[in-house]
């Protein structure tokens, strides 16, 4: 305990960091939906590269894909933590992966946006498809077991 300035007494301040309204971990169904959504985002981003270079739709879709696809492919394999933390970690990882990929292409003097998208997007989509396959093979905890017939 410490003295607070001007208070003269000793008081302690407690902060509750655990909120019961925040889910402890992402459900399997939510993870499957997120995986499918990120795969669809990667496909739409690839298709949007055929739009005009100054198109705002192209810029927003590609930005969303670069901020989410590579990082989510890795974070989805962890399968732990609250959804907001997983999303934040996915964005941070995506930024790190995107910067590393961009630097490699600039140093080799072969920078093309489409090639960077394919280099980062293809393994990411493959990881997400693999995650979906693993989820389909594992027993689903969020689905109740069928009722047993009385004997």
DSSP state of 140: -
Q: Is residue 36 part of a domain?
A: yes
Domain span holding position 47: 25-137
Cα atoms in the Cβ-side hemisphere of radius 13 Å centred on 58:
13
- Under the banding of pLDDT at 50, 70 and 90, the label for residue 116 is confident
pLDDT (tens digit per residue) in 49-67: 887 777 888 889 989 999 9
For the chain, what is the domain count? 1
Residue 141 has pLDDT above 80, yes or no: no
Q: Is residue 19 part of a domain?
A: no
Q: Is residue 5 part of a domain?
A: no
- Under the banding of pLDDT at 50, 70 and 90, the label for residue 71 is very high
- Under the banding of pLDDT at 50, 70 and 90, the label for residue 150 is low
- Look at the block and give the residue holding tokens 């492919």: 73
Residue 151 has pLDDT above 80, yes or no: no
- Under the banding of pLDDT at 50, 70 and 90, the label for residue 146 is low
Q: Is residue 55 part of a domain?
A: yes
- Give the model's pLDDT for residue 36: 94
Residue 110 has pLDDT above 60, yes or no: yes
C-beta atoms surrounding 119 within 10 Å: 15
Cα atoms in the Cβ-side hemisphere of radius 13 Å centred on 60:
3
pLDDT (tens digit per residue) in 6-61: 555 555 444 445 555 656 677 888 888 999 999 999 999 988 888 777 788 888 99
Q: Is residue 60 part of a domain?
A: yes
In percent, the amount of the chain with pLDDT more than 70 equals 75
Q: Is residue 78 part of a domain?
A: yes
CA distance 123 to 60: 22
Q: Is residue 151 part of a domain?
A: no
Q: Is residue 143 part of a domain?
A: no
Q: What is the mean pLDDT of the chain?
A: 80
């Amino acid at each position: 305990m410490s003295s607070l300035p001007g208070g003269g007494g000793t008081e302690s301040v407690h902060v509750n960091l655990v909120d019961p309204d925040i889910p402890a971990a992402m459900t399997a169904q939510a993870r499957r939906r997120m995986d499918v959504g990120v795969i669809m985002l990667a496909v739409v981003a690839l298709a949007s590269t055929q739009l005009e270079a100054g198109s705002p739709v192209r810029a927003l879709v590609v930005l969303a894909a670069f901020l989410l696809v590579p990082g989510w492919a890795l974070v989805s394999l962890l399968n732990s933590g609250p959804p907001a933390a997983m999303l934040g970690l996915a964005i941070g990882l995506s930024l790190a992966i995107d910067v590393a990929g961009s630097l490699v292409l600039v140093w080799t003097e072969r920078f093309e946006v489409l090639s960077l998208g394919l280099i980062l997007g293809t393994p990411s989509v493959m990881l997400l498809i693999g995650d979906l396959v693993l989820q389909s093979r594992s027993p689903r905890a969020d689905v109740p077991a069928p009722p047993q017939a009385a004997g």
